[in-house]
Amino acid sequence: MSNLTLALLGRKPSRQVKKWQTKIQKVTDLLVAEYGTPSLGNFRDPVKEIFYIVLSARTTESLYKEAHKRLSREFLNLEAIANAPVAKLRKCVATAGLGKKRAVQIKAIASKLLSDFGTRPAGKLRRLSAEEAYAYLRSLPGVGPKSALCVMMYSLGFDVFPVDAHAHRVLCRIGLIKPGAKHYHAQGVLPGFVPPGSSKELHVALIVHGRQICEPRVPLCNECAIRMFCNTGRDSKS
């Protein structure tokens, strides 16, 4: 079966897919048994999700959640965002950081959605094929492959695997990619190892695991449910 994420990215699966998919299915099962499939605050409405994902880049969970809440509270629809002065938007999303840059981006996204789809873009986005949805989301100002895939996975129901910082770090420590691999390489390779139908539950579980146990600086390997599958954990004394 072809891998949708790799097809969208124009990448080919690695030759080691079979070996790793079996292992990653076990990792997924163990992580889901450990953490369940919690909500991370994402939205079924793709328009709300686009802004949520944009605000979540390079900041912490509580700060981007607060910024998104304020944005939804102070600007009730796309037109209000598109017509708002940048300074007002900047103040509104300031907690998420990158104030002016992010305000300009949010305003530009709202304007493009309005001009392409009118005042109710959500239904039209939901009717797009995977290829159309990916191409459209990537055409939005500042929306890269990971953000586009997140919106597709969380809101549009596609079995695609975005590689965020947690997924990159944990899967790298397990041994799927070499230490120091760039994000571009990781996003183009790792989705090929994800068993079909498991993208969302694995993605969410890796975020929770990365936040609670496999932390960036010092992973808590002796508390880790997937240590037996991890190259780093096998070598670790902690």
The C-alpha atoms of residue 117 and residue 139 are separated, in whole angstroms, by 14
Q: Which is nearer to ligand SF4, 103 or 174 (CB)?
A: 174
Q: Which stretch binds ligand SF4 (CB under 6 A): 103-111, 169-177, 178-186, 194-202?
A: 169-177
CB-based contacts of 123: which residues, under 8 Å, 6+ apart? Answer: none
Residue nearest to ligand SF4 (CB): 233
Integer CA distances (angstroms), 82 to 78, 167, 171, 233, in order: 6, 33, 39, 48
Q: Which stretch binds ligand SF4 (CB under 6 A): 120-128, 154-162, 166-174, 193-201?
A: 166-174
Element (DSSP H or E) covering residue 107? helix 99-117
Determine which residue in the list 112, 173, 200, 203 makes contact with ligand SF4, applying CB under 6 A. 173
Q: Which is nearer to ligand SF4, 198 or 232 (CB)?
A: 232
Min CB(24)–ligand SF4 separation in Å: 12
CB-based contacts of 61: which residues, under 8 Å, 6+ apart? Answer: 40, 41, 211
Min CB(188)–ligand SF4 separation in Å: 22
- Give the dihedral of Cα atoms 230, 232, 234, 238; nearest 10 deg: -120
Element (DSSP H or E) covering residue 49? helix 46-56
In terms of Cα–Cα distance, which of 16, 17, 32, 6 is closest to 225?
32
Site string for ligand SF4, 195-234 (x = CB under 6 A): ------------------xx----xxx--x-xx--x-xx-
Q: Which is nearer to ligand SF4, 27 or 81 (CB)?
A: 27
Interface contacts to ligand SF4, rule CB under 6 A: 170, 173-174, 213-214, 219-221, 224, 226-227, 230, 232-233, 236
